[in-house]
Chains A and B, each alone.
Chain A
């Protein structure tokens, strides 16, 4: 299960945020306790007593909050200074485009490694800064992976940046955090942090073409083109030219992803999830832009799923 918890940080940036948050919670809980103690005293203490206006107003009402909140603010600004620094030049560059309702990912060239596209699952190496460039293809979205850092909006017409360095391997949930229409709740990015060697292996596999499986698979490849899937979804190595940008997620090696549909269907392995998705996408994700393929005969769905899963 993927983790999304502000107080379970798994990156250097999230560590900083969590530290600020924890200290703030303590200070403010203390302030609340003080105020409630004063209130309780005022209400429960039976006898009437004179009040030094100056102490209450200037002491409690001005000096105390200035010191406490000013101090907290100053400390938090100092503590979080490092978050503003630009990422080092050797950061892993990924451009993320939010679209209704999936995440379009483009890994940049990285030394000898070629650029490639994928979707909905961002795999990163542990210990290396990852620099995301955020854009939007339609409306405002927001990328938020609580365990790895703060959020940043993807605003049409602007490019925003978000950097994080994962500290430990794991799977981290990143729900879209700006209301973006019907399936706002169904737009979850999975971030998988892996050991650097594992990440290299994954990246190499990504750049290789999508496997054409055996006969069944070939049939699937043919159906993929015949039913128009290729006009929205790119699959590296498929004979059809890459689909127009942004219409649908890149499906190269989609069978290896942990989830389908941007966090909608868990994909434990095999082709069942793919079959469920193709057979009735709108039951799984009502309102998704993908048209329905309910009319396809079951063996066609089987073939398509097998092709996409790269498995017989």
Chain B
């Protein structure tokens, strides 16, 4: 490999990167040279992708990441086409290119596709592709989970888009406010398809969050302390946390809306005690963090690209990291600014307004950090740099219109007008799409070693950036001239002709620019793969020479700009001088390191290629799709396929490590395998529990919200369960949890004896019995859930717990099978530990569901 050129940096700036080795950590070289013969071949063999058609079962993050990026980009194009059609209709007043109902499907799908099938998947896809290499990990902690999440998203997303061709696409707007989206006003399957489409994104987002959090905290290269971690990794860590806390609200909301539509439980129906505003609270509690989930990764990408482009470290790097965390946290307080005109009233709105202005401060901090970095450095004018500059202009403008909208008087005029449409396109396109193009131009040499054309890139930038401003700036004016959102046409004589015409022209310019990008992409990537030449002389690890297995050896990191600090890293890593230069077990391994200091702790064997995640995704997609079109046979077939596939996939994981220890570096022996708190799967399980708890909290909030609107609580005819019933059921859940603990006693000393399996059906029986006791008491005597929202939300809580009882049955069966097969042993216990955690949570949840309605009623 060609050595990297010495970096032309100001010494003082470089010194700020904490170059001292962390206490107790060796300095390179870590592994002795020469490396044993056959070691590299063994590494390559472990990571070799499957051949032929079985390639589809590859789970390597490079393979999945590329497909993921390509699929998300495809949805950008598909959503963009819808926008072109809309702009064609709006180019002049009174046009009838599309009837109103068709136009309404177009704008609903445009928003839904862009937000759910393009933006969030794209930021996840870029992380799947870039993050492991940037962190010095060989892959993500759960490669099969990423594969499953991707395939479910790809299949589900494409099926969802296809509803357009049958005029079955949703048409109540991308945030689907009831009652318009309820059965009364949207009787067809359209709204159900939206709920379905969202379901796929929810799965892949949660899976993504699990990978991000565990990967960033547990698999970084040794010596990459949190302070040295690239800013992009910080942004993805914050985003992972945000996904875990925000998505559950929309998961709960969509589940409730589907229950209202399918079962006629009146959650949002005002005529039966429900409240349309409940949907808005749930949706926007997710929806506002969602836009920062989309923006923060782009901000992180810019913070990571900019030092390479400006050839100087990021100004105020630590403050930028704090700002990212501040944005993430603050974003959860702003949701009601989407409801400023809903009639909520009073102090709450003022507080939300204050917070909405406050979030501009960490935003401004990052802007000044970036401009400061440009000021200090010397920009290399690549196309990526052009797009970053464009981002700076567009995002500042969009952010400022956001500050305007945060002011109540301003919002009372601008809300739901084209001003808002202008604002959010500036922050979404300016704040995410432009950085995305920058990132694609910047990192594409990682793919096949070839950069794109700089000459064509200037045209791409000019057309996209120029077209973007042409399209969206006039919308602010149209809004102030009284043009509301989501209108399929507008009248002549209001002054709306020229802003709309200019917008429509701009859309065509953007389309030409994107087309040019695609053409140049195809053209520039033709020809054989070649090693990239580190063309931008970047400081971060993803630019080390790498193959499917990542780098030959995992780099030892001593600085926050490792490649600038130690230019010899390129050759050292390839020669195998650093950590884990081969495969100790013959499988795919990476290092687990401590969350803060990244001290090497263990070597884990990652899950390998398999067709089961793909089949599981097919089954899951089929299950949801066919359930939506009400095909019982199809739904059951999909469920069966998904269950079998996921079972077979999981069965191969949690394998017994072939040896207890391995030499990860000269004289450094690390345990192989991890269980308990040292295992990423343990934390993944906790993340799932937090998600489940957040969904529960949202559903509990729904019940509380409708209860608070009742004059008499519980409503006439309804009955709270008696306290003895509640106590018996609580005891049942507690007993089940205790029994599960007993089943696994002594696992630390030796394998679990097969007779322990007997405890599982009893434990499940206790859970099922307690559930049924609670269900009868809560819903058995009172009115049916279709009668009023109090009972409806209660039934939803009970149904949610019921779903978990069914899932526990499957988990009990799986665990029983593992025990019977002798696969639950002291060093092979992740299955046991994680199922027990989930079991415990389900019991806690069961108790909460039992008592919540009583607590709410007593509080009334």
Contact = CB atoms under 8 A, between A and B. Distances in A.
Nearest to A41: B375
Interface string A14-40: 001100110011001001100110110
A300 interface: no
A20 B409 contact: yes
A86 to B, nearest CB: 12
A179 B173 contact: yes
A134 B342 CA distance: 11
**Max chain A CB contacts within 10 Å: which of B99, B393, B487?**
B487
A60 B365 CA distance: 7
Contact of A65 (B274, B364, B479): B364
Contact of A28 (B342, B365, B366, B400): B400
Nearest to A173: B482
Contact of B401 (A4, A17, A28): A28
Interface stretch (A88-96, A118-126, A150-158, A206-214): A150-158
Given A6-B414, A178-B416, 11 more contacts: A51-B375, A80-B409, A138-B179, A140-B179, A144-B416, A150-B412, A158-B275, A177-B417, A179-B486, A181-B185, A287-B100
Contacts of A76: 407-410
Contact of A51 (B271, B372, B396): B372
10 contacts: A1-B493, A21-B404, A39-B374, A39-B389, A51-B372, A73-B354, A151-B412, A155-B343, A156-B276, A183-B100
Interface string B269-290: 0110011110000000000000
A58 B276 CA distance: 43
B410 A185 contact: no
A294 interface: no
Contacts of B360: 65, 69
A17 B415 CA distance: 13
Interface in A67-90: 69-70, 72-73, 76-77, 79-80, 83
Indicate the size class of the contact surface on chain B. Answer: 35 or more
A158 B343 CA distance: 8
A150 B371 contact: no
Interface of B: 10, 99-101, 104, 172-173, 177-180, 184-185, 270-271, 274-277, 315-316, 319, 323, 341-343, 350, 353-354, 357, 360-361, 364-369, 371-379, 389, 392-393, 396-397, 400-401, 403-404, 406-417, 479-491, 493-495
B341 A152 contact: yes
Given A65-B364, A173-B482, A177-B484, A35 B407 contact: no
Given A57-B372, A144-B484, A157-B275, A24 B364 contact: no
Given A140-B177, A179-B173, A287 B480 contact: no
B342 A153 contact: yes
A43 B396 contact: no
B315 A155 contact: no
Interface of A: 1, 4-7, 16-17, 20-21, 24-25, 28, 31-32, 35-36, 38-39, 41-43, 45, 48-51, 53, 56-58, 60-62, 64-66, 69-70, 72-73, 76-77, 79-80, 83, 100, 134, 138-140, 142, 144, 146, 149-153, 155-158, 160-161, 173, 175-185, 263, 286-287
Given A24-B407, A83-B409, A138-B179, A65 B480 contact: no
List the 10 shortest-distance A-B pairs measured between CB atoms, nearest first. A150-B412, A157-B270, A4-B482, A61-B365, A185-B487, A160-B343, A42-B374, A60-B368, A57-B316, A56-B372
A1 B323 CA distance: 50
Contacts of A21: 404, 409-410, 413
A83 B316 CA distance: 42
Nearest to B319: A57
Nearest to B100: A182
- Which has the most chain A C-beta neighbours within 10 Å: B104, B366, B412, B417? B412
Contacts of A39: 371, 374, 389, 392-393
B461 to A, nearest CB: 14
B397 A287 contact: no
B343 A156 contact: no
Nearest to A21: B410
A17 B409 contact: yes
A51 B10 CA distance: 11
A151 B416 contact: yes
Contacts of A17: 409-410, 412-413
A32 B374 contact: no
Query: Which of A43, A65, A180 counts the most B-chain CB atoms under 10 A from its CB?
Result: A65
A150 B101 contact: no
B416 A177 contact: yes
Contacts of B415: 151, 177
B379 A155 contact: no
A5 B477 CA distance: 10
A80 B350 CA distance: 12
Given A62-B365, A180-B180, A153 B343 contact: yes
A142 B493 CA distance: 23
Contact of A156 (B271, B357, B482, B487): B271
A1 to B, nearest CB: 5
Contact of A38 (B173, B179, B354, B375): B375
Nearest to A145: B482
Interface on chain B toward A: helix, strand, loop, or mixed SS? helix
Contact of A151 (B178, B361, B366, B413): B413
A287 B101 contact: yes
Given A4-B482, A144-B484, A57 B180 contact: no
Given A43-B389, A156-B179, A5 B481 contact: yes
A73 B357 contact: yes
Contacts of A49: 375-376
Contact of B376 (A38, A50, A149): A50
B409 A155 contact: no
Given A24-B404, A38-B375, A182-B101, A157 B276 contact: yes
A183 B341 CA distance: 21
A173 B490 CA distance: 13
A56 B341 CA distance: 37
B185 A28 contact: no
Which residue, A1, A100, A140, A142, has most C-beta atoms of chain B within 10 A?
A: A140
Given A43-B379, A80-B409, A6 B179 contact: no
B396 A36 contact: yes
A70 B413 CA distance: 21
B596 to A, nearest CB: 24
A32 B469 CA distance: 15
B410 A56 contact: no
A158 to B, nearest CB: 6
Nearest to B175: A179
Contact of B368 (A4, A57, A144, A146): A57
A61 B367 contact: yes
Nearest to A134: B343
Contacts of B185: 100, 138-139, 181
Give the residue among B10, B369, B408 with the most A Cβ atoms within 10 A.
Answer: B408
B391 to A, nearest CB: 11
A42 B341 contact: no
Contacts of B389: 39, 43
A86 B271 CA distance: 28
A48 B319 contact: no
B482 A6 contact: yes
Contacts of B172: 179
A42 B371 contact: yes
Contact of A69 (B357, B366, B408, B483): B357
Chain A CB within 10 Å, residue with most, of B341, B378, B489: B341
A138 B409 CA distance: 28
Contact of A175 (B316, B361, B482): B482
A80 B482 contact: no
Contacts of A38: 368, 371, 375
Nearest to A47: B378
Nearest to B99: A286
Identify the interface centre among B276, B407, B479, B481: most chain A CB within 10 Å of its CB: B407
Contacts of B487: 175, 184-185
